[in-house]
Amino acid sequence: MRVANVIEEGKLGGPQVRMVRVAAALKGQADTLIVMPWDNSEPFRALCEEADVKFHAMPLTRITTEWRVALRYVLFSVWEVIQLARLLRNENIDLVHASGGSWQYKGVIAARLAGIPSVWHLNDTSMPKWVRVVFGCLKPLANGFIFASHRSEDYYGSALAEKLSAVVPSTVDTDKFDPSSHHEKQPHCFNALGDAPVLGTVANINPIKGLELLIEAFAHARKKHADLKLLIVGPAHANQLRYQKSLLELTEQMHVAEHIVWAGAQTDVQPFLARMDVYACSSVAESSPVSVWEAMAMARPVVSSDVGDVSRHIQSGTNGIVVPERSAETFAQAIVTLLDDATGRGSMGDKARQTAQDFSPNSVAGKTFAIYRSVLTASRQSAGQ
């Protein structure tokens, strides 16, 4: 089976990491070609090369508020879809996997133009009205759907009830993300942390990550643990510099600026996770947050907002704490609870790692291949009729 996994966003994030890990795990069952935009995809391409996964970078513009890119999107999207359909035919693709969510539909349209069945991967739990309208028009083109979480499945609900579908979470390489791994060379920014306890997160600097809640909770937690440091790992892309500035202003207002280390983009987050005593996810919305699963694989106890399928996998007081309300005080109390109990924190971390085994590449790849096979079989049967 030859599969083209198409995404319109080149920046490396959870969906891109999942694509590479699953493609690598599917070797022997499916030959995967990852199709990505050329723009902003250097780390994505490097990850493919590291995993020995085939990829093709081409001009694919994305929906954005950046007016130059938005203009290119309007002007060139039709041409891009035609070129993508031509690529799919030339590569003798059997099935197209359209990744990235409901607003990334070029792979689905190109697949239909090329006469190839497609699976649309949905990781949304909310959409703007105009996206819902476009998705409603285009959803009949897909032969099946993958939901990144049960919460995404609930969001789309009966609208896709007649289609083949499966819930397939994000994946984490639990062999790589292993707390027993030793890191001889420590990142330079660790000098600013010293021996202090560390609260940390891995997240793009983006409003959807709710980092203002984390900063406010950190300020509250420092009232009980005055030596606590906050480590934030992740890039601020050009279109989020205004948001980043607002966060920096907030750290000044909360008088915690000098206690926060902004590590920026990192190709390997494992040593950063290993340095964290407590991992925090303050997101406003997620589906299957790979950064949380990676932290759990590293035996970090997690404090998380109630997003995506987090509450399905984290049982508060057992392998982490889920905070149901977006309250900085409540979030801080959960952090303090873990910091106050080193023994309990270690036990939760160990159980979190056990839970993370559910997201192993082989497990996720198996679920992915099952929906591939079901869609391809149904499509061939339909064509035979």
| pLDDT at site 159 | 62
331-349: per-residue pLDDT in tens? 999 999 999 999 999 999 9
pLDDT of residue 377: 95
Whether pLDDT at 33 is above 70: yes
DSSP-assigned letter for residue 186: P
Q: What is the mean pLDDT of residues 173-202?
A: 90
Lay out the sheet containing 2-6: strands in order across.
54-58, 31-37, 2-6, 95-98, 118-122, 144-147, 164-167
Residue 239 has pLDDT above 90, yes or no: no
pLDDT at 381: 85
385 to each of 68, 350, 356, 378, 381, how far by Cα in Å? 47, 53, 43, 11, 6
pLDDT tens digits, 194-211: 999 999 999 999 999 999
Q: What is the pLDDT of residue 65?
A: 67
8 A C-beta contact, residue 374 and residue 382: no
Look at 81-90, 128-137, 156-165, 183-192 and tell me which has the smallest mean pLDDT.
Answer: 156-165
Token match 């995967």: residue?
A: 32
- Average pLDDT score over residue span 223-231: 97
Residues 149-158 have a mean pLDDT of 85
> What's at 40, amino acid-wise?
N
Average pLDDT, the chain: 93
Crossing angle (nearest 10°) for helices 342-356 and 290-297: 120
Question: Across residues 176-186, what is the average pLDDT?
Answer: 84
Position 385 pLDDT exceeds 60: no
Lowest mean pLDDT among 49-58, 122-131, 263-272: 122-131
**376 has pLDDT over 60:** yes
Q: CA angle at residue 35 from 78 to 66, to 5 degrees?
A: 55
Residue 284: name the closest of 377, 182, 380, 204 by CA.
204
Q: Give 230's strand partners.
A: 199, 260
Confidence of residue 129 (pLDDT cuts 50, 70, 90): confident
Helix/strand/coil for 355 = helix
- pLDDT of residue 75 exceeding 90, the answer is no
